[in-house]
Amino acid sequence: MADAAATAGAAGSGTRSGSKQSTNPADNYHLARRRTLQVVVSSLLTEAGFESAEKASVETLTEMLQSYISEIGRSAKSYCEHTARTQPTLSDIVVTLVEMGFNVDTLPAYAKRSQRMVITAPPVTNQPVTPKALTAGQNRPHPPHIPSHFPEFPDPHTYIKTPTYREPVSDYQVLREKAASQRRDVERALTRFMAKTGETQSLFKDDVSTFPLIAARPFTIPYLTALLPSELEMQQMEETDSSEQDEQTDTENLPLHISPVRRQGASQGCGEGTAGKVAHPGRQGKKASGGGE
């Protein structure tokens, strides 16, 4: 419901922008949106079995619907920007709805409900001039629950995909080398950053930047940091407890092929702190972004 309404609103705004009905296009736009939303509210009320409604209550419900939709839009935008995109994808909307406490699973059934009322498309004064692109093949028709004034499905060729895989690096030496230098780079960058942003000490009076040492700072309770294992270590301990370490000893070369891959991906994705937690983040990430673009 909300999804449909949002799209409707968006579509409406697109079509109305060039309207000549009013002097002020912005006011005009607001009015039109409002009217559409009122129609939506009214039809929902009718669907729900109301025969009549007071103006004030319709207005209130409209207000609520509007803010709900705006929130979905705002939130979806944030999600999409968070992953460095400009266009929201379906998953952004889904995450948004989940976040807002909406049960997404019920949505398809609701969309296909039988006593559904179809709202007529808002009057379009100016058909937008869409340049006729080269069409290849036949576009998929709208299923019955999608109003016809909605945009058409993309061309069939856009659905064609060719999955690509990078050959997993399996040479042990290279992997170790890579893991080592990666970790070293991360550590170096991190400590340099810390040194740059905080107080430092230096071994050379004339040069403070080549070997910057983060200044020693006394603790109020020094024994706690000294004795308690760090979180990283704790996590590691849990993991090594479950995975049988003993096997590693002599079968060093072959079985290790898998684990370095995993580590590498992990440190890429999440840095030192969560190394090894996500099972296959590399592949997952690839798939997700491939689908989205």
In the complex, the residues that contact other proteins under the rule CB under 8 A are 172-173, 176-177, 179-181, 184, 187-188, 190-191, 194-195, 201, 203-207, 210-216, 218-230, 232-233, 236-237, 240-241, 243, 245-246, 248-249, 252-253, 256, 259, 263, 275-276
Nearer to other proteins, 70 or 201 (CB): 201
Nearest distance in Å: CB 197, other proteins: 12
Nearest distance in Å: CB 216, other proteins: 5
Nearer to other proteins, 55 or 205 (CB): 205
Query: Using N-to-C axis directions, what is the helix angle for 172-197 and 258-270, rounded to 10°?
Result: 20
Quote the CA–CA distance of 133 and 141 in Å, as a whole number.
18
CB 181 within 8 A of CB 267: no
Nearest distance in Å: CB 183, other proteins: 8
Nearer to other proteins, 198 or 291 (CB): 198
Which of 43, 42, 39, 35 is CA-nearest to residue 113?
A: 43
Nearest distance in Å: CB 191, other proteins: 4
Nearer to other proteins, 70 or 259 (CB): 259
Residue 69, judged by CB atoms within 10 A of its CB (0-12, 13-18, 19+), counts as buried
Which of 85, 109, 107, 88 is CA-nearest to residue 98?
A: 107
Helix (H) or strand (E) holding 46: helix 25-47
Nearer to other proteins, 10 or 203 (CB): 203
Helix (H) or strand (E) holding 200: strand 200-201
Nearest distance in Å: CB 184, other proteins: 7
Helix (H, G, I), strand (E, B) or coil at 214: strand
